[in-house]
Chain A
Amino acid sequence: MTAPQARSAAAAVPPAAVRARDVVASEWTKLRSARSNYLTLLVAAIVTIGATVVVAHAFATTHGPPPPGPITPLTASFLGYAEYAVLPVSILSVLAFTSEYSSGLISTTFTAVPRRWAVLAAKAAVTGTAALLAGELLAFASFFLTQAILSGRHRGLSLAQPGVPRAVLAAGLVLAACALAGLGLGAIIRHTAGAIAATVAVIFLLALVCLFLPSPWNARIGRLTLPVAAYQVVALHPQAGLLAPALSLLVLLAWPAAILLAAGVAITRRDA
């Protein structure tokens, strides 16, 4: 037993921080080396901006007083973003795990890093960071674009107004929350189609279903759904009957946190 064994036994154990950095580097390489990721993000960005312009124009050209209901000059900025950025980015995040399960690559991944929660944490760090950056970029772009169009009608908001920067930042955060929920559901469900369906349910459909519950349960349960919480966090003037913005922020973050926790339990307890 010779050279190879002797050398390996002598190798020092690297500190945990170094090992964590290595796993993150590995996951970052995976993310950036798939061409489809760039393509999807690019298309999502273009469609988001396009939809934002359309919505802003429609909003700007409505005559008379602003329409009642949840659409305000601020939330109008994020209508395009809420659909055309959130959905594709969340689906990409689902694929972070499901594509590895469907190709079988997950065995290689877990063989290289047998502490599976470290894989989950690294994927969450990489996906969450990328989604947060993309989210903030698109949220600010959507905001400025919309306000530029609205200002022609003297209905625009400025970033200097109280609460506005916080709201736009929060809109960017929503993308990261949805992406992380998708990531975790992908790890739990493992099959792409099922995981996407579950993700769409969490980030859109549950809130719609709650609308049909008898009052007052529609609001009581609805305010705990991710999209309603996201709306409250982003809105300049929170709707009455829903949770306060600070609590809504907690709800918004609790969804991905709970899902990731469940994912951590699922992937460590099951056979790969």
Chain B
Amino acid sequence: MIDVDQLRKRFGPVTAVDGLSFTVRPGRVTGFLGPNGAGKTTTMRIVLGLDAATSGTALVGGRRYQAIIRPLRQVGSLLDATAVPGGRTAWFHLLSIAQSNGIGRRRVTEVLRLTGLDTAAGRRLRGFSLGMKQRLGIAAALLGDPPVLMFDEPVNGLDPEGVRWIRELLRSLAAEGRTVFVSSHLMSEMALTADHLIIIGRGRLLADTPTDRFVESSAPTDVLVRSPRAGELAALLAGRGAAVVRQDDGGLVVTGLDAPAIAGLAADHGLAVYELAPRHASLEQAYLDITAGSAEYRAAAAAGEGTPGR
């Protein structure tokens, strides 16, 4: 369990984390989402005692991280997979980490096998690909068999197979009853992995919600209709109080009426309809909506586009 309460972190004039409060519970994967620069990594570093909070608290299992004896047995973490000593072999790198927390050699061999790195144990880390470094970082996080796990952007730069491996690993760790906290700036990835979402922007909490409820609550659905007599249909729909947006290709995007109502209306007036598709806003769109305006850096064009189609 991770408890963050009124956490604030200022770097000079920049407030990276701004009064953030949330709880990460065991037994599920909690996704930590936000645009680049939202404060995800800073929050995780404060939880791990690497950076000091300006104010507020971050507790793991009810204690400050710095107060935990042999913390790797309580919290496994991976912040930056590329932060490894290039001249050391995987085996000695993991051994040095294990020894600091009184973890034996057998466990080093175990986590190497668990992450599929057993054949690379004797290789120097500068020769590791990014995917192998991610696996190595996860091996290090698993050394202490900890009840709490924190990963910062673990799928960044991985190939599809590596992404799937991490996704399944995270889910199985959560299924074992562990607290799994994973940051990402990719909603699409979290949609597949996380049971619960904590979304932040500019250091503030934007949403703390189960993944499935997130879409329903924050994203209205619409219906795409195509008809050879789109103009007439649009007028009819508008007359029933629906909002209609005409797309460039002639399709109508209707909000305010559901698909059966639209179909009924068209049939009553003898209008042919050759496409009638209720559309659920994607998680990605819901996420973009909620974080709009809080992204630290954005391309000017993207900012001007708004939310096309609606």
Contacts and interface: CB of A to CB of B under 8 A. Distances in A.
A8 B74 contact: yes
B26 A115 contact: no
A62 interface: no
Interface stretch (B78-86, B111-119, B199-207, B260-268): B78-86
B5 interface: no
Given A2-B177, A271-B51, A112 B83 contact: no
B89 interface: yes
Interface string B83-98: 1111111001101111
Nearest to B98: A26
A90 to B, nearest CB: 19
Name the interface size band of chain A: 35 or more
Q: Which of B69, B74, B82 has the most CB of A within 10 A?
A: B69
A272 interface: yes
Given A108-B140, A114-B49, A19 B69 contact: yes
Contacts of A35: 87
Contacts of A3: 176-177
Contacts of A29: 92, 95-96, 99
A17 to B, nearest CB: 12
Name the interface size band of chain B: 35 or more
Contacts of B87: 34-36
Interface in B30-87: 45, 48-52, 61, 65-66, 68-74, 77, 79-80, 82-87
B50 A272 contact: yes
Contacts of B26: 1-2, 5
Given A23-B100, A114-B66, A33 B147 contact: no
A14 B177 contact: no
A5 B144 CA distance: 12
A105 B85 contact: yes
B131 interface: no
The 8 closest A-B pairs by CB, nearest first: A104-B83, A2-B177, A33-B92, A26-B100, A4-B147, A26-B99, A271-B51, A29-B96
